[in-house]
Amino acid sequence: MPTDNDDHVDRRTVLKYAGTAGAVGLAGCSGNGGDGGDGSDGGDAFELGVTMGQMDSGLDPQDHAETNTEIIVGQLYEGLLDRDKQGGIIAGLAEEWERTDDGSVRFVLRDGLTFHNGDEVTPEDVRYSIRRIVFEDVGIVSPQSNDLGSVSEVTTGDGQVTVSFEGYNPIAFQLFATNGPVMQQSWVEENGGDYINRNANGTGPFRLSEYDSGNQVVYEPNEEYWDGAPAVDELTMSASSESSTRVNQLLAEETDIVTNVPPNEVSRVNSSDVATINSVASARIIFLQMRYDVEPFSSQQFRQAMNHAVDVESIIENVLNGFGNVTAQPTLDGHVGYNPDIDPYPYDPDEAERLVEESGHAGVEITLETPIGRYLRDVEIAQAAASQIDSLSNVSCEVEQREFSSLVQDVTAPDIEDRPHFNLLGWGNGEFDGSQTLTPLLSSSGALTVLENEELDGLLTDAEATEDPDERVEILQQANQLAHDLAPWVFMHQQFSVYGVSNDISWEPRADEFIDPDTATQQ
pLDDT confidence band for 43 (50 / 70 / 90): low
Please state the rounded mean pLDDT for residues 387-395. Answer: 98
Question: What is the pTM assigned to this prediction?
Answer: 0.74
pLDDT of residue 425: 97
Q: How far apart are CA 241 and CA 403, in angstroms?
A: 9
226 or 20: which leads in pLDDT:
226
| 252 close to 268: Cβ distance less than 8 angstroms | no
pLDDT tens track for 435-453? 999 999 999 999 899 999 9
pLDDT (average), residues 75-94: 95
SS3 506: strand
Closest CA to 416 of 290, 307, 304: 290
Identify which of 80-94, 143-157, 194-208 has the greatest average pLDDT. Answer: 194-208
Residue-level pLDDT at 265: 93
Rounded CA-CA distance 480/342 in Å is 8
For residue 402, the model assigns a pLDDT of 97
Q: Give the closest residue to 186 by CA, choosing from 106, 128, 271, 254.
A: 128
Torsion over CA: 412, 414, 415, 416 (sign): positive
Q: In this predicted model, what pLDDT tens digit does every residue of 174-207 receive, in sequence order? A: 999 999 999 999 999 999 999 999 999 999 999 9
Average pLDDT over residues 360-371: 98
Residue range 232-245: mean pLDDT, rounded: 95
